[in-house]
Chains A and B, each alone.
Chain A
Amino acid sequence: MRRVLPVAGLVLALLWLVVPLAPVLVWAGAERWSYPDLLPGAWGVTGWRDAAAAGLPFALLRSLALGLAVAAVATPLGVMTGRVLGWRLTGRPRLVVAALLVPLVLPPFAVAMGLDVVLIRVGLPELVSVVLLLSVVAIPYTAYTSATAFARTSPELEAQARALGATPRQARLRVVLPAVRGSILVAALLAFLVGWSDYVVTLLVGGGQLVTAPVLLGAAASGSGNDAAVAAMALATLVPPVALVTVAALRVRSSGRTAADRLPESVPPEERMR
């Protein structure tokens, strides 16, 4: 019973994720699929052609650029905040945590509208505003991921590097950051996903000028009636982040296994004085 429950839970969770994707997968390869047929009457790539004609490749490139820009802004800021939290360098950690949680607690629409007004008054271009706003949303993820990594890493590492002749900057770049590089990678991935998959902020603040993959998908899904093209867009939007997450998970898993393999032996023969 102890083993059955977790396995059943895992299967249900997978089904929860995969079942909604099944019709999308089928539609993406369907030429014609009439109700009440269980499977499409004809297979083809018309949906992909229509999606490409609607600007999917460029939308994907814009999403890629947006994701990278958000990761580029949110990751270093999150790592700096995570260092402060993880190493308890602030006397008011709760204040920092509260500030980080604001974008997650408040409705994204309200945050986007509120900050949009501020950014418009400052006179920032829309694209920059979108990147900054999404970075605000992404920083809690990058900060918490980094904070966990720093909490597991001794602050003495930096002191040790300094004692060996490293300047503060060299100590951070050559010792501390490599020590938490796995978590920084995960933090950057999360920030990238925030930028890649955003719809609300991009649409509201971008004013419809910045057509990313989710914006194109949203527009097509709400008005085109071309289910095959919508499915192709959905699939194209879905595959890159899933691939990235899979690669990251495999890397984390392999590094975990390597660490386990490296557990110290009890007292090896070399330990003895010669």
Chain B
Amino acid sequence: MSTLEVRGLWHRYADADTPALRGASVAVADGEMVSVVGPSGSGKSTLLRVAAGLLRSTSGQVLVDGRDVADQPTERRDLTVMFQHPLLFEHLDVAGNIAFAPRLAGSGRREARRCAQRYLRLVHLEGLDSRDVASLSGGQQQRVALARALAAERGALLLDEPFSSLDRELRASMHDLLAEVRAALAPTILMVTHDLDEAALAESTVVLVDGSVHQHAPMAEVYQRPATVAVARLLGGFTEVAGTVRDGAHHSAWGRLPVAAEAAGDGAAVLLVRREALRIEPADGGTTGTGLEAHVVRRRPTGTRVVLSLMGSDDSRMEVELPIGEDVGPGTRVRVLPPDGRSSLWAVRGVTSGGNAQGISSGSHDSPYVARTPLKETRS
């Protein structure tokens, strides 16, 4: 397998006012898997298509094993793509589909079908080589598509929301299969997905917003320390507290809250707190100091827990996820408390009108929210 890197990719669709990609850069090491997430219209699929050569970039480089292939046609880029839909060739049987690339590469029919058998075993579909592809179920078709992409034996594999058309159970089984394939072949994979759990299968995740890379880090780090408010909003479940960072602490209506040393420097900053990290206590409990008086607007059960939507005394909105077994009814007045401990608090530079994590307005790139670090790779 090979390394794959895109550097400073720009792309604008012919009928669009704004670019779909704005200098996006992503690097995937040999045998590594990197996922790309982002809101609808953020340029995820465009990035993948430009990397594959199915779209031409306005500028930028696509490097496969260090060789710039940006001017090469798709078939000469030493990479292959697996799309959301299996796109199997119905005039060929299962083995014929998998043998398609080896046949193009010059293998004889018998040799190519032997190769197909090997990859069929890998995706647990041995014995189905002569089956009509239209007779397969959706999951089986996607397995054949994966086997076909692997049989092309290219330097890198690009996956464009490959399992999003499958139901949850099948998707989980495809995730297991992908892990098996990675253990067996160690392919270099760049996967676009809208499923954050699926993205977490990769060693690291790129968060693309409005065509720009806002963060590139392992998923756990993205959740713990989102680089921008836009990243936090994509993940969901964050309460945004507008204020100012000064002397290592965030100052707001919530009081003075110490922030992590790596968080935003002095200036206007938004504190991002996970809803499960917030706590509540009765408003008349006598607690003073940090926290904010609020009343419960809505309660939303999510499995074993309840998520409260609250309106703060300063008219800000927030969400709190209660511990298992606890519940509070709408209208109750409570005091919302920030989490204990310095490590849980994270602030990013920027200002917000306050309120809870909400959808990101697509198409607007003049966001007031900027990453503490420049919009480039922040991999650890």
* Given known A-B contacts A259-B134, A267-B139, A163 and B52 have beta carbons under 8 A apart: yes
* Per-residue B-contact encoding for A256-270, CB less than 8 Å = 1, 0 else: 000100101111101
Shortest Cβ distance from residue B91 to the other chain A in the assembled complex, whole angstroms: 4
* Cβ contact within 8 Å between B91 and A179: yes
Q: Which of A110-140 contact B (CB under 8 A)?
A: none
* Cβ contact within 8 Å between B81 and A163: yes
Residue of A nearest to B141 (CB): A264
* Given known A-B contacts A181-B91, A264-B137, A274-B124, A166 and B173 have beta carbons under 8 A apart: no
Cα A273 to Cα B80 with chains together (Å): 25
Q: Which of A220-274 contact B (CB under 8 A)?
A: 259, 262, 264-268, 270-274
* Given known A-B contacts A179-B90, A270-B125, A274-B124, A165 and B152 have beta carbons under 8 A apart: yes
* Given known A-B contacts A157-B87, A262-B132, A272 and B80 have beta carbons under 8 A apart: no
* Cβ contact within 8 Å between A271 and B137: yes
Residue of B nearest to A259 (CB): B134
Question: Would you call A12 an interface residue if the criterion is a C-beta within 8 Å of the partner chain's C-beta atoms?
Answer: no
Question: Would you call B138 an interface residue if the criterion is a C-beta within 8 Å of the partner chain's C-beta atoms?
Answer: yes
Residue of A nearest to B89 (CB): A175
Interface size, chain B (Cβ < 8 Å): 40
Residue of B nearest to A171 (CB): B75
* Given known A-B contacts A262-B132, A267-B137, A271-B173, A165 and B75 have beta carbons under 8 A apart: yes
Residue of A nearest to B14 (CB): A91
* Cβ contact within 8 Å between B104 and A166: yes
Interface size, chain A (Cβ < 8 Å): 31
Contact of A179 among B81, B89, B148, B154 (CB under 8 A): B89
Cα A159 to Cα B73 with chains together (Å): 11
* Cβ contact within 8 Å between A273 and B152: no
* Cβ contact within 8 Å between A272 and B173: yes
Cα A170 to Cα B89 with chains together (Å): 13
Minimum-distance CB pairs A-B, first 5: A178-B91, A163-B81, A262-B134, A162-B74, A160-B87
**B interface, CB within 8 angstroms of A:** 52-54, 73-75, 79-81, 83, 85, 87, 89-91, 100-101, 104-105, 124-125, 128, 132, 134-141, 148-149, 152, 154, 158, 170, 173, 176-177
Q: What are 10 A-B interface contacts by the 8 Å CB criterion?
A: A156-B83, A160-B81, A163-B54, A164-B80, A164-B152, A264-B138, A265-B137, A270-B128, A273-B176, A274-B124
